Structure formats: C-alpha cells, structure tokens
Amino acid sequence: MVVIILDNGAGTAKVGYSSDKQPRVIPNCVTKAKNVRTRIFIGDQIDECKDLSGLYYLLPFQKGYLVNWEVEKQVWDHMFGKDMLQVDFNEASIIMTEPYFNFRSIQEAMNEILFEEYQFKSVLRTNASYLSQYKKNKDDSQNPLCSLVLDSGYSFSHIVPYFKGKKLAEAIKRVHVGGKLLTNHLKEVISYRQLMVMDETYVINQLKEDVCYVSTQFMKDMEIARMKGPENTVMRDYILPDYTHIKRGYVRPIEETTGKAQGNEQIIRMNNERFAIPELLFHPSDVGIHEMGIAEALMLSVESTSKEMQPHLLGNILLTGGNCILPGFEERFYMDVRSMAPTEFDISMTLPKNPVTYAWEGGVQLANDKDFEKLVVTREQFEEYGHNICLEKFDV
Amino acid sequence: MKRSQHRRVKEQQRRILDEPARRRRQRKALEALEQDNFQDDPHADLKMSKKAPKFEESIEIGNIVSSAKKKKKNRTEYFKYRLKKSFAALIEEEQMLSADPPNYFSASTPPSKLPERHFCAVCCFLNISTFPSSYICVSCGSRYCSVKCLGTHQDTSVKCLRTHQDTRFVSHSLAHYYSVKCL
C-alpha cells in the first residue's frame, strides 16, 4: 500500500512516502522575491532563487491554524504534483497532522479537500505529537505507559501528555512562543540597535539558527556580554550575505572577531541577543507575553494529571520541534524542570537526533503497523457517513 | 527664574501616556511579533496584461476538456469562498460553540508565578545592580538602565521626544552605533 505522510507544520511541511528514508522538509509558504518579478516561489522552489533578500511571505497558517487555503492548496498541489511526489491519489493513503484543538470548520474543510478534491483512497488525521510518542514507544524496549511530548514549533509550543497512546486533552498546555516570534523579535532588536533588517525575515532566521543558543547560566552570560574585548566570549560577528559574492551569511571564527567589518561586507554584532532571544521560550514575560515559560507550563500540565501518572510522565519527556535544535536547549529545559519538579521524581528527557522530522518518522512506522488499516477513514466511508465518521475515528 | 520657566515648558510639552494607551502600545508590540511581513508586497504593483498569451494552457481539444476544467475551477472557487475565515472568526465560532473544557481556551497558560524580569529597552541588559526594578521613562513607561540609555530611548522613540537640545548624555560612538543604516 502506498502511504504518504505529511506533517503539515506552519513553518515547514515534512512530506514523503512511507517507503522513504527521510522526508522532504519544505517551507510551507509561497514567497515573492524583491528582484524576481516574473514568478512566485512555491514551497521549496525558493531554492531556485538566487537573491533571497527582502523575501515576502504568504503563509497558510495564522497563529498556528490553517486559514489561508489558497496558499496551502498551491503548496500541496506542488508537493503532490509532477515536480515532487507524483501521487496517484486513487491508490494512495495519507497521514496528515494538524494542530491541537483544531477548529471544527478547518477539520471539515480538510476532510473535503482530501477526499473530494484530491480523492485520496484513505485518510488519517492526527497530531504530530501522537506520531512522535508512537515512535518513542515503539523504539523503547521498556514500553512506557506514559509520555510527555514537548512540541515547540513555528507558531507556538505545546506540552502534550499521553497515557497508553491516548492524549490527555485536559492537560494540554500551550505557550504562545515559537520560532516565528523569536525571529521577529530578533529582527526588531537588531533593527533598533544596529541595522534596519525588518524586511529580511529569511536572512535573520538563518542568523538565528546559526548563532543563537539557550543559556544555561543566564545571569552569568549577561555579565560576560557586558564585558569588552577578549573577555567577552559571547560576542560574535555575523557576516550578512549580499547575494553576489557572499551567498549565505556566516559566523566569523572567534579568533577573528573584532566587531568591525572588513572590506565591503556588512556585519551584525551579536552579543546578548544570542541568548536573550531564545530565552523568551522560558520567560515569555520578558517581552510582555503574560504566560508561563515552557518549563513552568510543563509542570502545570503534569500537575493537572492524576497523582499516579505524574512520576511516569516526568520520567519520559520527549522533545520535538525546531526550537529544540537550539544549542543548550535540552540542558536548560532539564535544569528548569528539575528545579520545579518534586525531588523524589526522576526526570528523563529524550532529544531525538532530528527533532523536526521525528514525528514524520513516527508516521512511517505507523503506516507499517498492522493495525494501520483500522485507524484510517476510507473514501467510501466518508461518502457514506460524512464528517461524523472522521469525528469518531480521529483523536484530534 | 529662566531655568524654572524652561522646566515648566518642558513639562507641558511632554506627553505622558496613560495606562490604557500604554496597554494599547504593548498590545501593538505583541501583534507586531506575529506579523508575517514587515514590508509591502513587492509584486503589488505588477499589472498582469490580459492580452499576453498564457503559455502553460494548451489549446483546448473539444468541449469536454474545457467543461471539466471549468468545473474544477468552480470547485476551487467554492472552496475559496467557503473556507474564507480569519483566525478571529474561528475563535469567535469556537466561543459560540462553547464546547466542554478541553478546548482551545483551556490549553492556554496563566501568567507565570515567577516575578517579571525587567530589561533595559535600549541595551537589553538586565540592570543587575538595581534588579528587580530599574528606571521607567516618564512618558511611555519603558524601562531603561542608565541616563545614557534614556538619552537613546528619547532620541529614537517618537512619543518620548526630547524637548530641549540636550544630547550630552549620548556619546558619539553610541549615536553612531544606533544609527539606522539600510541593508
């Protein structure tokens, strides 16, 4: 059987056949380039664009939920079409992920598009964390009963507890800090202090991925960042791309860091920005978002489950989503959770090799599960029973 | 005498934002963090010429193809129309449905129990010596850590403009450091 797994994130879509080793990670958006006026770039077509300055984004998601279907349809058409997967819809099933507490009208629209517009043979809609914890439990020899998934993505971060493969909906917690907010905040900070980069989402996102890290000793790092000269070990020079000679931005080696530009290049001096930006994940109140940080939210989520479950949840925490790649993330998250959790509980965290594609990989394993057929809704069933059967069958 | 007059003038010119205005500002700042793009659509002024041939469309063979195409197009139009719901509309709909607690609203987290940390709005350094409370701009309520940073703040914020020609606090290097260059 042919199964397509589509982890449809707001930032990137992870897509591929269940027979593939790795998914294709493509930007889930349509982009317009300032200097290319003859065409638009759909999804990963942006790789064909040579000048990536001043990119204009059309995003299908708003605050984590699918609202702009026109854009999404373009991306999907490109994804399933002849340029990429060349899907034979009549023969193919699809595993599709969606956000937590997805709105009813979005779900219905999704059903209609998948069954009526594309005419997939069968569909399974689920959450990304379901696939992650499924994979974790399959790979784990001890076969734990509970797992707690942190899913920190583009629009927001969620804490999702699972018990025997069922999510505990009442204990799900959401923090409105994600990769998009971090990049936007970094853009603002740099534009205020150094260089006007408000238009350069793409470049600054790369900058964030290249030099930002999560501090494990925030106050100490702040002190170091205040120092001048070689004592300041935080400071880095980032050379911006000009898309003629320099195709991609890069960090200058520490030995050569002077804070001064050489020749014609443009640089951004990254000092306390390097760790003060990702810090928002742990302290959203730093920019006036009146919410808990992810570690505190995790404890809140754990506390709202039953007493017996709590040690098991804390003993099996899984970190997924792009923000977990930030250096120091796991260490800091562990430190914060450890300091808040009761001392008698052991805390164990797992950071997969690739936290971005982990859910997709879980989808591959699920597609090869002997019970997979029982989880899906076929097109005939949908034609017979409509949206209700999807409501009954899918745990989303 | 002259000096007190000067001060009076300064006080009058200074516009102090009240609490709701400050909250409004804060909300706007948060909304800005959600923005997809800062700039305008670079292709907005592109005019598609109707006369220009569209090369991707093949010459139609018979009516069947065209009607099928039309049908497909109609469907897409239908979807566009039906699915046009903004995030705000979705939230409203969800509130109207008011399903039992495990829902979108129950998942949100309350404010942190930890005390807020205050950063200097200019240099972003925590003012460690005076932590947790640093100084506040009288006009807009932004935090700052030193006279130097207050100077920069007043120079760069529209509402907190300085009322007299006092730039002695801003060193030249700092002014240069914060000068906005274009990429």
Residue of A nearest to B119 (CA): A286
When CB atoms are compared, the residue of A196, A240, A285 closest to B116 is A285
Cα–Cα distances in Å, from B99 out to A82, A341, B84, B96, B127? 42, 32, 23, 8, 46
Residue of B nearest to A99 (CA): B104
When CB atoms are compared, the residue of B83, B107, B112 closest to A173 is B107
pLDDT tens figures, A43-81: 999 999 999 999 999 999 999 999 999 899 999 999 999
Q: Which residues of B touch A129 (CB under 8 A)?
A: none
3-state secondary structure of A244: coil
3-state secondary structure of B83: coil
Chain A: give the shortest CA distance to residue B2, in Å: 36
pLDDT at B97: 82
B80 near A CB under 8 A: yes
Give me the residues of B, 160-179, that contact A with CB < 8 A.
177-178
Q: Which residues of A touch B109 (CB under 8 A)?
A: 173-175, 291-292, 296-297, 300
Does the N-terminal peptide bond of residue B132 adopt cis geometry, omega within 30 degrees of 0?
yes
3-state secondary structure of B77: helix
Q: Are strands A173-175 and A236-239 parallel, antiparallel or unpaired?
A: unpaired
Residue A336 in this model has a pLDDT that exceeds 90: yes
B79 near A CB under 8 A: yes
Give the residue ranges of chain B where pLDDT is below 70: 1-14, 47-83, 126-134, 158-159, 161-183
Output the CA torsion A356→A359→A365→A371 (10° steps). -170
CA A187 to CA A190: how far, in whole Å? 5
pLDDT at A277: 95
Q: Which of A166, A148, A134, A16 is nearest to A79 (CA)?
A: A16
CA A65 to CA A28: how far, in whole Å? 13
Which two tokens mark B163?
């009322």
pLDDT at A356: 96
- Residue B175 DSSP symbol: H
Cβ atoms A292, A158 nearer than 8 A: no
A198 contacts: CB under 8 Å, gap ≥ 6: A187, A188, A191, B38, B39
- Hey, are the CB atoms on A199 and B126 less than 8 Å from each other? no
Q: Are strands A92-97 and A250-251 parallel, antiparallel or unpaired?
A: unpaired
Give me the residues of B, 53-72, that contact A with CB < 8 A.
none
B88 near A CB under 8 A: no
Q: Which residues of B touch A69 (CB under 8 A)?
A: 79-80, 83
CA B104 to CA B114: how far, in whole Å? 24
pLDDT at A219: 87
Angle CA(B77)–CA(B79)–CA(B81) in degrees, nearest 5? 70
Q: Which of A275, A55, A107, A123 is nearest to A186 (CA)?
A: A275
Give the residue from A49, A149, A192, A387 with the most B CB atoms within 10 Å of its CB, the best one to mutate: A192
pLDDT at B127: 55
When CB atoms are compared, the residue of B80, B93, B101 closest to A103 is B93
Q: What is the mean pLDDT of chain A?
A: 93
Alpha helices by DSSP H, chain A? 69-80, 104-112, 128-139, 179-193, 201-211, 218-226, 273-276, 294-303, 310-314, 329-340, 358-367, 372-375, 379-385, 387-393
Residue of A nearest to B118 (CA): A286
pLDDT tens figures, B61-113: 444 545 555 566 666 666 666 667 888 988 988 888 877 788 899 999 999 99
- Hey, are the CB atoms on B177 and A194 less than 8 Å from each other? yes
Q: Which residues of A touch B116 (CB under 8 A)?
A: 285-286
Between chain A and chain B, the number of residue pairs with CB atoms below 8 A apart is: 170
Chain B: give the shortest CA distance to residue A141, in Å: 32
Structure-model confidence comparison of residues B2 and A328, the more confident one: A328
pLDDT at A338: 96
Q: Which of A179, A156, A354 is nearest to A277 (CA)?
A: A179
Beta partners for A251?
A: A238
- Hey, are the CB atoms on B87 and A62 less than 8 Å from each other? yes
pLDDT tens figures, A169-208: 999 999 999 999 999 999 999 998 889 999 999 999 999 9
- Hey, are the CB atoms on B29 and A113 less than 8 Å from each other? no
Residue of B nearest to A68 (CA): B84
Which two tokens mark A392?
């009954």
Residue A163 in this model has a pLDDT that exceeds 50: yes
- Residue A114 DSSP symbol: I
When CB atoms are compared, the residue of A188, A200, A226 closest to B183 is A200
ipTM, interface predicted TM-score of the complex: 0.82
pLDDT at A211: 96
Residue A317 in this model has a pLDDT that exceeds 80: yes
pLDDT tens figures, A110-122: 999 999 999 999 9
pLDDT at B56: 52
pLDDT at B79: 63
